[in-house]
């Protein structure tokens, strides 16, 4: 009898040891967590999520030997979703200090943003991209545009050939288009980009126009640029260069009956849209400057930046050409465009244009999501614009953008359900980047340090 008991105990100990041996020393278990399927909006309750070697190893209802995991995170009552992508971000460049650049990257990450698409490239950003990928700096995944291609930097067809070829060779992820490029130069730029295999995104130059831009197959058009101008009837015989701030001057002439045609063109030509609507509800809006500067996230910005934002905003609001009623009409048209492009276009991408005026990196994404909701997009559509849609955009659905076995563990753990309330995305319990857990306490500690540095 004794021998039998000893044998049973030995077998149990062996089984326990074997179970523990199977568990990596670097594995993380998130227990009893609610997993959000961003494709369908379905919620999977009380799941056990195992992360190791930077990837999601398993998602199950039950996991063996939960106490054997070296790092265990209690997910009870919490919600796990993919990290967000900020698809119109700006990364500082010299002469900004190395320390401040890394702080800005952390500001994005602190808000659950695990991927950023930098929209004004610099050679330094190629190095930052590599460091982020190798885990040498605490940063979201980085995609970076080329330096600006605009009416001053690209003035001839030959210059378009030379610069596009050089930027592709340098390894930039895509080309950034800015205003001012002449039509024949733009067409050469597009031809060369197609020849060398690099995509292009950004603004729509006035000489190009929205319809030609869509037919040229931008990979994304940002700010909904050019669309309002595209609503002006030809019979109005306007001078395109007098369009003002993203078409504001043409607001009274806009024929919203033309929206569906432009949306259909965006769909046919597979052009993604990045609204950056928060740019238009903060900077270009009859909003009190003091209320903007009193937002809690402003403490993370340098004092000289805040002073400049105040100066630019006050000068802008003092311009006699700005009319509050016209702005309301302008804003209503933009909302209508965003809603229809979301419903019937190729797809929407989440981006806030941080750090433009009053858009603090990371924090501005929450304002952007609310603006998208105000335009009529659902919570799920907004979440998709920052998760699965960017993964599709980058052709990396097998890498990130979902909580799915085999994908990279770039995740955010939330205290509440964002499908029910977008403000839940502000209530971060922790962020997982490249499989490494960063708890709220750790995040808050560094945020406090950044605020102290900027207010000294």
Closest CA to 166 of 153, 180, 178, 179: 153
Per-residue pLDDT tens for 152-176?
999 999 999 999 999 999 999 999 9
For residue 340, give the H/E element and its range: helix 324-344
Task: Look at residue 456 in the predicted model and tell me its pLDDT.
Answer: 73
The pLDDT value recorded for residue 69 is 93
pLDDT band at 23 (very low <50, low <70, confident <90, very high): confident
The answer to whether residue 7 scores a pLDDT higher than 70 is no
Whether the predicted pLDDT of 350 surpasses 50:
yes
- 141-149 and 174-177 strand pairing: parallel
pLDDT tens digits along 99-134: 999 999 999 999 999 999 999 999 999 999 999 999
**What average pLDDT does range 280-287 have in this prediction?**
90
Predicted confidence (pLDDT) at residue 264 exceeds the cutoff of 60: yes
Judge whether residue 13 has pLDDT over 70.
Answer: no
Q: What is the mean pLDDT of residues 222-245?
A: 94
Q: DSSP readout, 228-278?
A: TGGGS-GGG---GGG--GGGGGGGGG--GGGHHHHHHHHHHTT-EEE--TH
Q: Is the pLDDT of residue 17 over 50?
A: no
- Domain annotation for the chain: domains and CATH numbers: 84-400 (3.20.20.140)
| 21-42 exposure pattern, b = at least 16 Cβ within 10 A, e = fewer | eebeeebbbbbbbbbbebeeee
Please compute the mean of the pLDDT values over residues 137-164 and round it to a whole number: 97
- Inter-residue contact 141 to 411 (CB < 8 Å): no
Percent of the chain with pLDDT over 70: 95
- For 240-249, what is each residue's pLDDT tens digit? 999 999 999 9
Q: Does the pLDDT of residue 15 top 50, yes or no? A: no
The reported pLDDT for the residue numbered 22 is 79
Q: Is the pLDDT of residue 187 over 90?
A: yes
Whether 386 contacts 84, CB under 8 Å = yes
Q: Model confidence at 96, in pLDDT bands (50, 70, 90)?
A: very high
């Amino acid at each position: 009898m004794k021998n039998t008991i000893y044998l049973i105990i030995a077998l149990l100990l062996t089984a326990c040891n074997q179970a523990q041996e199977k568990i990596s020393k670097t594995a993380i278990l998130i227990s009893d967590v609610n997993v959000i399927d961003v494709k369908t909006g379905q919620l999977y309750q009380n799941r056990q999520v195992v992360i190791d070697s930077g990837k999601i190893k398993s998602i199950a209802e039950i996991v063996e030997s939960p106490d054997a995991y070296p790092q265990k995170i209690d997910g009870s009552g919490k919600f796990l979703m993919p990290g967000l992508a900020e698809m119109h971000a700006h990364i500082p460049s010299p002469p900004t200090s190395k320390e401040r650049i890394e702080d800005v990257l952390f500001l994005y990450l602190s808000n659950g943003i695990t991927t950023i698409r930098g929209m004004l490239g610099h050679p330094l950003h190629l190095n930052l991209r590599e460091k982020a990928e190798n885990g040498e700096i605490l940063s979201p995944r980085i995609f970076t545009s080329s330096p600006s291609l605009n009416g001053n930097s690209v003035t001839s067809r030959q210059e378009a050939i030379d610069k596009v070829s050089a930027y592709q060779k340098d390894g930039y992820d895509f080309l950034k288009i800015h205003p001012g490029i002449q039509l024949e130069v733009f067409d050469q730029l597009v031809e060369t980009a197609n020849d060398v295999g690099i995509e292009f995104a950004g603004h729509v130059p006035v000489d190009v126009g929205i319809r030609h831009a869509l037919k040229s197959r931008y990979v994304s058009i940002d700010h909904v640029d050019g669309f309002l101008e595209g609503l002006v009837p030809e019979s109005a015989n306007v001078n395109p260069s007098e369009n003002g701030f993203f078409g504001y001057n043409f607001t009274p002439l806009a024929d919203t009956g033309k929206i569906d045609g432009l949306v259909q063109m965006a769909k046919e030509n597979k052009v993604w849209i990045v609204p950056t609507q928060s740019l238009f509800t903060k900077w270009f809006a009859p909003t009190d400057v003091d209320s903007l500067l009193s937002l809690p996230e402003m403490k993370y910005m340098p004092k000289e930046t805040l002073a400049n934002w105040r100066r630019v905003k006050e000068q802008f609001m003092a311009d006699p050409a700005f009319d509050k009623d016209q702005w309301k009409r302008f804003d209503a048209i933009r909302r209508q465009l965003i809603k229809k492009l979301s419903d019937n276009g190729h797809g929407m991408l989440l981006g806030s244009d941080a750090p433009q005026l009053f858009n603090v990196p990371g924090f501005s994404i929450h304002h952007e999501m609310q603006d998208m909701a105000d335009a009529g997009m659902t919570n799920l559509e907004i979440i998709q614009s920052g998760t699965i849609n960017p993964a599709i955009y980058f052709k990396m659905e097998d890498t990130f953008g979902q909580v799915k076995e085999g994908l990279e563990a770039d995740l955010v753990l939330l205290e509440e359900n964002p499908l029910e309330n977008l403000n839940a995305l502000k209530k971060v319990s922790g962020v997982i980047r490249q499989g490494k857990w960063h708890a709220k306490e750790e995040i808050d500690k560094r945020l406090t340090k950044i605020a102290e540095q900027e207010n000294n």
